[in-house]
Structure 1
Amino acid sequence: MTRSLNELRPVYVVGIGWHRYQNPSETPYVELGLTAIRSALADARIEWPAVESSYVATALLGMASGRPMLRHLGATGAPLMHVENASASGSTAFRHACIEVASGISDVALAVGVDKRNPVRRSDTGIGHLAEDAVVPFTHFALLTNEYAVRHNASAEDIARVAVKNHHNGAKNPNAQRQQERTLDEVLGGKRVSGSLTALQCTPIGEGAAAVIVASEDGIRRLGIDAGRAIRTTASVGRSERVYPPGAGFDAALTKETADLALAQAKLAPKDIDIIELHDAFTVEELHYIESIGLCPEGHGVRMLKEGALDIGGQCAINPSGGLIAMGHPIGPTGIGQIGEIVMQLRGEAGPRQHGGARTGLAHMVGVGAVCYVHILQK
């Protein structure tokens, strides 16, 4: 008989930290990761030996990259696991850290994501792709953008407003890679990538790190952690793709399945969510995913966007961090950074990005369309 996370013992996020997401640099990944981990330890007000297990999420660094990073904190003998799951690597690491603590195996666990884009390693399966040289990721999403616009009578300007909102949020986030507000004219007038997509509507190439520490109630009491700043994870769901009907958007269909399960697990409806951090590598994705999550009917995302319902202070703040478009998408850290943003919001510590009265947040990531992870956190 399967059991969901909320049927096990409660698990809480007690520490969060980042190394700012940034343009590619000469900074060693070890420095990126250690900065985030030490920040999370300081936020939780605990020392490294209190961490009983570590999950290191990367997508580009190669084999056993966590060992030369964590050894600078001290050799404690605690278990170390490496996680690679494309864009959902950090979300996967967070899920398994939560499961370990919720199951009672550990009282305190670390999930840290770190990545650098250079060098990029590609796997050679020995099987060619018919359209590999013609359809690259941004072309796929440019086609999705056109399809969404035609189906729902939306304009290129309507869809580009997603980027305007997220650049506005990122400008207030000291951890974001892009920290500059952009007008609609600037977004639309930028370098054309594919179709109507411009560079400012796409996630940038970058690097960085994010870390969170999760703990049980026993761990919180034993270590004297401030329970008033602990945020509970009430749902954790991971899914992989199935065979969908012809014409179905597989990312959106997979998102709907995963989000429905997570909301049921937390005993919530979409209207109960105050904050959503989601995978918006391209502007059209945000519209697809808020509709798939159930925040509004299909095709109504643009209306909510134009009404300000998706802004900080609106009905539900979507990507208050700036999302992948402005916060950045270093890959390994991205899902963990989403958790950190939601925790900050639910604590009321987000400063100029604070969404008033936030008590429930949802984090969503997809990985190359093959996997999807959704987490729900509550104050």
Structure 2
Amino acid sequence: MTRPVYVAGVGLHRYQRSSEASFVTLGLAAVRAALADAGAEWSDVQGVYTGTTRLGMAVSRPMLRHLGATGVAMTQVENASASSSSAFRLACMEVSSGEADIVLAMGVDKPGPSSRAESRTGLTGLADGHVVPFTRFAMLANEYMHRHGATPEQVAAVAVKNHRNGARNPYAHHQKERDLAEVLDAEPVAGTLTKWQCCPVGEGASAVVVASEDALARLGGDPSRAVRVRASAQRSERLYGDGDFDVEITRETTAEALHRAAVRPADLDVIELHDAFAIEELRYVEAMGLCADGQAAGRLADGEFDVGGRCAVSPSGGLIAMGHPIGPTGTGQIAEVARQLRGEAGDRQQPGARLGLAHMVGVGAVCVVHVLEAAE
């Protein structure tokens, strides 16, 4: 970062099942909440990056014109599940460079038709139509259990933890605690993965106001609530030999972000990660360096990844309980980490949280990681 960048305000519309509400209603609720949280006016915003995947072209203007026609620069960002993570990264880069002092990063989506460009390349694969995300992660879960001696109960324990966290989050799609028996006995999806070990894909919105140090002073808010963006890193897939690409791209991108932030995995107090399926949390915390390969299930059982443990992983409920409306998910993670670092997360608050990390992967494959720090 050329100059310091801060999260000045955050806002969300609850993640939920598809409703009759328009994306305009969802998005404006999140943006207005973020502006109010930052003590900013719409006219203060000098740039907007909107992450979305299923709403079509030119999403920002028909939504944000209701706040006023200010001529602000607007850019749509599509990067699969990492869309608004990438939008946040671009907003940080714009503020860091000095191009702007206050930039809005947001995400909004509603269920609807979507397709991967890969299906239109004219090339076919042997697994086309047979291996979809949940079957792929069921196979990865089976491989992990076989390699490390983990059990289906240990994988399902990720979902138990995250549903418990989601039950304490008013913005979560699922807000009910579920015990291990309920998770294991739920409708099977693929392999050992059941319904409650897979994320719901619904609708919602999230927004983050990114500001420079000068802008924070002009806004006149409480400086102790400003959360600094220590580092931002983004990578795409390369050849990894025998390693799973989601794990390896997570390993490399996280290492890059932590190096830029000059912190170690052990320094992290809070992590929001891409747990679309329960097995992902175990694999990613190992790739991030919180523990050695094969140790995550045991560390989870010991409470290390609970709120109040060594590092709270997905205190929002993660994608499994908070939900995964896709476009908003990345900036929603930033909102949760910011609240944790401010000490404003209520009864899911990680005590003494000072450093947090937000991680998203997206088909393609891409990975975006941010490291955030509480104010001094």
TM bucket normalised to smaller: over 0.9
Q: Secondary structure at the match of 1:135?
A: coil
Give the Cα separation in 2 of the matches to 1:234 and 1:200.
34
Give the Cα separation in 1 of the matches to 2:286 and 2:364.
17
Q: Which residue of the other structure, out of 32, 48, 52, is the alignment partner of 2:42?
A: 48
2:357 is equivalent to residue 362 of structure 1 = yes
Which residue is equivalent to 1:153? 149
Q: Which residue of the other structure, out of 326, 329, 333, is the alignment partner of 2:324?
A: 329
Give the Cα separation in 2 of the matches to 1:264 and 1:333.
27
| AA at the equivalent of 1:41 | L
Give the Cα separation in 1 of the matches to 2:370 and 2:37.
21
2:65 is equivalent to residue 71 of structure 1 = yes
Which residue is equivalent to 2:90? 96
Superimposed CA distance per residue, residues 122-165 of structure 1 (whole angstroms, 9 cap, x where no aligned partner): 54333223212211110000000000000000110011000000
Q: Which residue of the other structure, out of 338, 345, 359, is the alignment partner of 2:340?
A: 345
| AA at the equivalent of 2:208 | V
Give the Cα separation in 1 of the matches to 2:283 and 2:13.
30
Q: Which residue of the other structure, out of 172, 182, 185, is the alignment partner of 2:181?
A: 185
Q: Secondary structure at the match of 2:257?
A: helix
Q: Which residue of the other structure, out of 150, 159, 163, is the alignment partner of 2:159?
A: 163
Give the Cα separation in 2 of the matches to 1:118 and 1:95.
26
Which residue is equivalent to 1:129? 125
Task: Give the conservation status (yes or no) of the 8 Å contact 1:250–1:369.
Answer: no
Give the Cα separation in 2 of the matches to 1:121 and 1:148.
30
Which residue is equivalent to 1:208? 204
Give the Cα separation in 1 of the matches to 2:73 and 2:364.
30
Cα distance 1:220–1:79, how it changes in 2: closer, same or farther (>3 A)? same
Task: Give the conservation status (yes or no) of the 8 Å contact 1:46–1:225.
Answer: no
Superimposed CA distance per residue, residues 56-87 of structure 1 (whole angstroms, 9 cap, x where no aligned partner): 11011111111100101111111101100000
2:173 is equivalent to residue 199 of structure 1 = no
Task: Give the conservation status (yes or no) of the 8 Å contact 2:84–2:327.
Answer: yes
Give the Cα separation in 2 of the matches to 1:369 and 1:68.
28
The offset of 1:25, in angstroms, is 1.2
Which residue is equivalent to 1:242? 238
Which residue is equivalent to 1:112? 106
The offset of 1:45, in angstroms, is 1.3
Q: Secondary structure at the match of 2:200?
A: coil
Task: Give the conservation status (yes or no) of the 8 Å contact 1:107–1:215.
Answer: yes
Give the Cα separation in 2 of the matches to 1:50 and 1:231.
19
Q: Which residue of the other structure, out of 7, 15, 35, is the alignment partner of 1:13?
A: 7
Give the Cα separation in 2 of the matches to 1:377 and 1:38.
23
| AA at the equivalent of 2:93 | I
2:258 is equivalent to residue 287 of structure 1 = no
Which residue is equivalent to 1:371? 366
The offset of 1:205, in angstroms, is 1.9
The offset of 1:223, in angstroms, is 2.4
Paired residue total? 372
Q: Secondary structure at the match of 1:159?
A: helix
Give the Cα separation in 1 of the matches to 2:226 and 2:185.
43
Q: Secondary structure at the match of 2:367?
A: strand
Give the Cα separation in 2 of the matches to 1:127 and 1:249.
22
Q: Secondary structure at the match of 1:129?
A: coil
Between stretches 91-100 and 223-232, larger displacement belongs to: 223-232
Task: Give the conservation status (yes or no) of the 8 Å contact 2:53–2:114.
Answer: no
Which residue is equivalent to 1:252? 247
Superimposed CA distance per residue, residues 278-309 of structure 1 (whole angstroms, 9 cap, x where no aligned partner): 00000010001000000000000001100000
Q: TM-score, normalised by structure 1?
A: 0.97
The offset of 1:121, in angstroms, is 4.2
| AA at the equivalent of 2:333 | Q
The offset of 1:228, in angstroms, is 1.6
The offset of 1:369, in angstroms, is 5.3
Task: Give the conservation status (yes or no) of the 8 Å contact 2:84–2:331.
Answer: yes
Task: Give the conservation status (yes or no) of the 8 Å contact 1:203–1:328.
Answer: yes
Q: Secondary structure at the match of 1:64?
A: coil
The offset of 1:46, in angstroms, is 1.2
Q: Secondary structure at the match of 1:215?
A: strand
Give the Cα separation in 1 of the matches to 2:175 and 2:121.
39
